[in-house]
Amino acid sequence: MSKTDVILVSPPSRTKSPRPPLGLMYLSSYLEREGITADIVDIKGYPDKEIFDKIIESIKKANPIMVGITCLSPEVEEVISISKEIKKKIDCYVVVGGVHPTVSPQDFLGSTSPVDFVVIGEGELTLTELLKTVKNEQDLWNVPGIAWFNDDQIVRTKSRLPINNLDELPFPAFKKVPMNYYTFPNIYAVRGILLSAFFIFTSRGCPFRCKFCSNKSVFGRRVRHRSAKNVVDEIEYLVNNYRIDGFYIYDDTFTINKQHVLNICEELISRKLDLIWGCETRTDLISEEIIKKMKQAGCIQIDFGVESGSQRILDILKKDITVSQIKNAFNICQKFHIRRFANFMINTPGETEEDIQKTINLAKELNATLNIFNVTTPFPGTDLYKEIETKLSPKDYSKMASKISFKEFIEFIESRCKFSQHNINLDVLLTDLWKEFPNVQDLSFRLNKSYVKGIIKELLFVVDMKYLKVINKSKRKKEYLKWLMDIILKKEKQSGNKL
């Protein structure tokens, strides 16, 4: 049986994720351009208990020389588990990469570990060189950005410099993943808005120093931008080949470079693509000039990391923004009728009941279209991780995501990662906040005046003229209707079960 060079694997727990494995897609397209066959295993549509076996089955069929697995902190246990199974069934190298392997390579390497190599940082060049090196039995020390276990110790080569010219990277390998799944109308791309959309990176890197974020560990603090033409070429390709009606800019901070934003907006306008889109940015990087141009180019929503209504907490988190800047950004967006998605944090270091009340007061004043309240979690690679009293194990990491079990997640945070000074139970606090503020995770109806007003505000996008124009010309009208029917039937089934 002939061998595929590389199989790139999305972990089993991502089987229901609406977000595509863009990192793997970039790796695959780059490897293929370099003459290396590289497929992606990203399985959807099977029950959870079958996904693990389906992944192994797919890898066995490909018979690869190397298997690469991406990994976030809550996925460490499952990635190690599937790596063991791969080693049992297939004669190949196992490589892990992504955020957690980059910040904690020691969690994957050892005398009994099934993992052969860890890729540290950006992976396109590193994985390409690593594959060529092992195939040709050359010296591993000549490959920057890797770690492995050698002579009873973990060794690593010098760091890999970030890719400078992002335009040199090929587009992600769209044909290697189930694009029908990712582009089917949903409310998770531009969160809260029913839309057939896809995710786009226009830059890499983040210069800011937020204590709770580890993204800078992979892409670095120096920001590198794609050209406007390159970005919109990709968007236009997605329109022509996958019939998307919108997109979400996945950059950590889209508006960090004013001219970059204006150039992309001008390119979108000049090509008359008539799409709607959203992005994420900081409240101190907003101006009327930028928002006006973004609105003209189809921007319908901006996600902001507000975090707290307490200036003291913002300073502790090293957000380097002020409450007045937050208010100003929301006022500008409201002036230009841009939807506002507000991310808040609870369980922040030193948080008191007074700080919580300031956050609630600010949330009411901002009057965001949607709010979400996140529980501060000290992921490895963040400054917060250094502040917890006892270091965590791979078993602990798996509890750092509420998708496994919300109850277990809250119990873990309360017992091991409690940063706040107040004695309010986090579960009770979140429940109270969700009763007051609508959020995209739970848009159920509640007989609460402020909540009902919030739901109405959230659903006003259905009468937005820009949205209606996009849907009217969409080639996916039947899919939008199917999504709505599925939601109605699901609600009816839930009501029937309650009876």
Tokens 């993943």 belong to 177
What mean pLDDT comes out for the span 246-271? 97
pLDDT of 437-472, one tens digit each? Answer: 866 555 555 556 666 666 677 777 777 889 999 999
18 pLDDT higher than 70: yes
* Residues sharing a CB contact under 8 Å with residue 235, sequence separation 6 or more, in sequence order: 200, 247, 268, 273, 275
Q: How many CB atoms lie within 10 A of CB 337?
A: 12
Show the domains of the chain with their CATH numbers.
6-156 (3.40.50.280), 185-473 (3.80.30.20)
Q: Which DSSP category does 9 fall into? A: E
How many alpha carbons lie under 13 Å from residue 135 in its C-beta half-sphere? 14
Q: pLDDT above 90 covers what percent of the chain?
A: 82
For 303-370, the DSSP string reads EEEEE-S-HHHHHHTT----HHHHHHHHHHHHHTT-EEEEEEEES-TT--HHHHHHHHHHHHHHT-SE
Tokens (6 digits) for 60: 């066995």
* Residues sharing a CB contact under 8 Å with residue 264, sequence separation 6 or more, in sequence order: 202, 228, 231, 232, 297
Backbone angles phi, psi at 225, to 5 degrees: -110, 145
Of residues 449 and 356, more confidently modeled? 356
What mean pLDDT comes out for the span 4-22? 95
What mean pLDDT comes out for the span 146-163? 96
Give the mean pLDDT of the chain.
92
Q: Which pLDDT band, with edges at 50, 70 and 90, does 3 fall under?
A: confident
491 pLDDT higher than 60: no
Quote the distance between the C-alpha of residue 102 and its chain's center.
16
Q: Is the distance from CB of 130 to CB of 102 less than 8 angstroms? A: no
Tokens 């694009």 belong to 179
CA separation for the pair 130, 146 (Å, rounded): 8
How many alpha carbons lie under 13 Å from residue 4 in its C-beta half-sphere? 22
Tokens (6 digits) for 240: 């022509």
Backbone angles phi, psi at 246, to 5 degrees: -170, -175
For 273-286, the DSSP string reads ---EEEEEE-GGG-
Q: Is the distance from CB of 223 to CB of 204 less than 8 angstroms? A: yes
How many alpha carbons lie under 13 Å from residue 475 in its C-beta half-sphere? 8
What mean pLDDT comes out for the span 35-59? 94
Q: Is the distance from CB of 383 to CB of 211 less than 8 angstroms? A: yes
What mean pLDDT comes out for the span 289-311? 98
Q: Is the distance from CB of 223 to CB of 203 less than 8 angstroms? A: yes
Question: Which pLDDT value is given to residue 72?
Answer: 96
Question: Which pLDDT value is given to residue 429?
Answer: 95
Of residues 487 and 386, more confidently modeled? 386
What mean pLDDT comes out for the span 109-130? 97
Q: Which pLDDT band, with edges at 50, 70 and 90, does 494 fall under?
A: low
pLDDT of 159-201, one tens digit each? Answer: 999 999 999 999 999 999 999 999 999 999 999 999 999 999 9
For 119-183, the DSSP string reads E-S--HHHHHHHHHHHHTT--GGGSTTEEEEETTEEEE-PPPPPPS-GGGSPPP-GGGS-HHHHH
Q: Which pLDDT band, with edges at 50, 70 and 90, does 1 fall under?
A: very low
Q: Which amino acid is at 313?
A: I
Q: Which pLDDT band, with edges at 50, 70 and 90, does 407 fall under?
A: confident
Q: Which of 461, 396, 388, 496 is nearest to 185 (CA)?
A: 461
Tokens (6 digits) for 486: 């599925």
